[in-house]
Amino acid sequence: ANAPPRPVAVGREAADELNAYDASPVAVAAAMAATRRTARFSEEEANAADARAALIDLIPGCDETTFGWLLAVDYFDARRAHGVETPELDEALEATARRHLAWRYAAWAEDAAVAALVALPLVRALRDRVADAEMADAVLCAHDVTILGLWRALGGGRGDDARWAPGFGCRLDVARDAGGGGDDDADR
């Protein structure tokens, strides 16, 4: 038998409890800046300096003040979406841009302060919904980096290896354990 359809409620953007970047922009920016000041982050940025310079030259309208690694990846995605071929040299830059952007996200997610700030709103929302029998199977939408923060906080992934990061369109399923009535049911 098919289960009856569940109602769908779309939250207001102003009440977005999942996007920590918007909910606590000052705290998240400060934690991310602290990560950028580490020796490892500085070393990785220095290693990517030549690619950064080449991307600034390649991307129309881009300069030192407007460049960002996400902008670089978006540039290649837009070309692909519009059917514009990418020369072989640009393909190497695209791979470098994607790899470096993934490394940056992983580095932030590895930082306990950033992971906590990013994951906490999602953890609270999951806890509240799992505790409510009517909302236990609610669908929540969050940024991939929010889910990455939660995943890393739960011990997922393997260091800064970008292959272990959830994809852009990832899905995280959380279910309440029905439990067997044991003493530890409250901990599930």
Handedness of CA 34, 37, 43, 45 (dihedral sign): positive
Q: What is the pTM of this model?
A: 0.66
3-state DSSP of the chain: CCCCCCCCCCCCHHHCCCCHHHHCHHHHHHHHHHHHCCHHHHHHHHHCHHHHHHHHHHCCCCCCCCCCHHHHHHHHHHHHHCCCCCCHHHHHHHHHHHHHHHHHHHHHHHCHHHHHHHHHHHHHHHHHHHHCCCCCCCCCCCCHHHHHHHHHHCCCCCCCCHHHCCCCCCCCCCCCCCCCCCCCHHHC
Residue-wise pLDDT for 73-101, tens only, equals: 999 989 888 988 877 778 889 999 999 99
Residue 129 near residue 121, CB atoms below 8 Å: no
Angle in degrees, 0-180, between the axes of helices 69-81 and 88-110, rounded to the nearest 10? 130
From first to last of its 188 residues, the chain has per-residue pLDDT tens of 577 766 655 555 545 566 666 677 888 889 889 989 999 999 999 999 999 999 999 999 999 999 999 999 999 989 888 988 877 778 889 999 999 998 888 788 778 788 778 777 777 777 777 776 665 555 666 666 666 667 666 666 655 555 555 555 566 666 666 665 555 545 44
Residue 34, pLDDT score: 92
Q: Which two tokens stand for residue 101?
A: 């952007």
Residue-wise pLDDT for 113-131, tens only, equals: 887 787 777 777 777 777 7
- What residue type is assigned to position 37 of the chain? R
Residue 108 near residue 32, CB atoms below 8 Å: yes
